[in-house]
Chains A and B, each alone.
Chain A
Amino acid sequence: QKEVEQNSGPLSVPEGAIASLNCTYSDRGSQSFFWYRQYSGKSPELIMSIYSNGDKEDGRFTAQLNKASQYVSLLIRDSQPSDSATYLCAVKATNAGKSTFGDGTTLTVKP
């Protein structure tokens, strides 16, 4: 089992729809959770971080964390073609010097 698993893509949604990206992790000691967006040919860019159970909203983005079920998700409301990118989930345990990345989910938003 991979340490961090993301739902297999690619994921395609129409413009204006909600895109749902999921991530599960195996280490129960994980405390910090991050979503990065990476456009083709560009470097990853942090878009959301979440540390506590529940929802965290930032504009059109909502991160959801459930530590008991060991999953974290990212919802993108009113999806735009500019949201088309690969989304990377990263998980970090307390006192670990590094995060573990999932393989990423490629999202395409069709006009």
Chain B
Amino acid sequence: DTEVTQTPKHLVMGMTNKKSLKCEQHMGHRAMYWYKQKAKKPPELMFVYSYEKLSINESVPSRFSPECPNSSLLNLHLHALQPEDSALYLCASSPRRDDQPQHFGDGTRLSIL
């Protein structure tokens, strides 16, 4: 069982929909991450939160909006996505931003119609 829990596991949405991905960890980690992974490619970093503050934004389009309500939760709000945004979205955590290793959740497989 993974220590980082992501919901939902699968999501199909239209380009005009608004949805959210959720991530939760109870390891006391203070850094949380969102990655996007396309098939046969490595994970691509999107956002890093450190102590609930946005630390890194890798020039991600504004149709992706992260939120960190508290030290255990990380959300990714989705709006007006494009078909090319279909991918596996991975959440990860680490004790602190400069720490490794990162613990990954099982991911949300997102399909945009």
How distant is B17 from chain A, measured CB to nearest CB, in Å?
24
- Tell me, yes or no, whether B77 is within 8 Å of chain A by CB: no
A97 touches B100 (CB 8 A): no
CA distance A15 to B88 in the complex (A): 31
B50 interface hit (Cβ, 8 Å): yes
Any A CB within 8 A of the CB of B79:
no
Least CB distance from A32 to B in Å reads 5
Of A43, A44, A46, A98, the contact of B45 (CB 8 Å cutoff): A98
Interface of B is mostly: loop
Choose from B42, B48, B101, B107 the contact partner of A98 (Cβ within 8 Å): B48
Of residues 86 to 109 in A, which have CB atoms within 8 Å of B's CB atoms?
88, 90, 92, 94-99, 101-104
Smallest Cβ distance from A111 to chain B, in angstroms?
24
Chain A proximity mask over B65-96: 1 for CB below 8 Å, otherwise 0: 00000000000000000000000101000000
Give the dominant DSSP class at A's interface: loop
Known: A97-B55, A97-B56, A101-B43. A92 touches B100 (CB 8 A): yes
Asked if B42 and A97 sit within 8 Å, CB to CB, the answer is: no
Q: Given known contacts A42-B106, A43-B90, A97-B50, what 4 new A-B pairs fall within 8 Å (CB)?
A: A32-B100, A34-B101, A98-B48, A101-B43
Q: List 14 A-B contacts (CB under 8 A).
A: A32-B100, A43-B88, A43-B90, A44-B43, A44-B104, A46-B103, A94-B98, A97-B50, A97-B56, A97-B97, A99-B100, A101-B43, A103-B41, A103-B42
In the A-B complex, the 5 residue pairs with the smallest Cβ-Cβ separation, listed nearest first, are A101-B42, A43-B104, A46-B101, A97-B97, A43-B107
